[in-house]
Amino acid sequence: MDSVNIIVGSQMGSAEYVAEQLADALIEQGINCQLHEQPEFTQIDQEHTIWLLCTSTYGAGDYPENLIPFIEEVNQSADLKGIKYSVIALGDTSYDTYNYAGRNVDTLFANKGAFRVAERLELNILDEQLPEDTALAWLPSWIKQVGLNSH
């Protein structure tokens, strides 16, 4: 694994901010990283990389608007074999649709044959810690687990 493609689903900016912080941390460690804030399925490298999907849940368990075209492209794809991925889900536990977008994209990718390289990280925005701090604390163990090489 040489690189990470961070695919962002963000409605109000919190998932985007977490993704930006993670991208900066990866780059600082010499890991090639691309951030996709308006992701297009066919434009994202699928080989020698891990897709890190970082998405919030919007409304009644929906995907953020910027992620919907990407999800539609994934749905139309025959299979995602060969794609390695992880999911970071941001949500608010006061809603009964907590992290539905992250959970649904995780299930979608698995059902399409993609390979989950690490368990989903679920961030509750009601936690005392900022979501980006929790994600940054998680990042070193994720890097080690997925076998990323820093240069």
Predicted local distance difference test score (pLDDT) of residue 76? 95
* Position 2 pLDDT exceeds 90: no
Specify whether the CB–CB gap between 88 and 135 falls below 8 A.
yes
Q: Would you put residue 59 in left (φ > 0), alpha (ψ -120 to 50) or beta?
A: left
What ranges in 29-130 are assigned the alpha helix state H? 68-76, 100-111
Predicted local distance difference test score (pLDDT) of residue 8? 98
* Position 150 pLDDT exceeds 70: no
CA–CA dist 59, 132 (Å, integer): 22
Average pLDDT over residues 100-127: 96
Single pTM value for the model: 0.95
Q: So what's the architecture of 3-140 in CATH?
A: 3-Layer(aba) Sandwich (3.40)
- Domain extent listing, the chain: 3-140
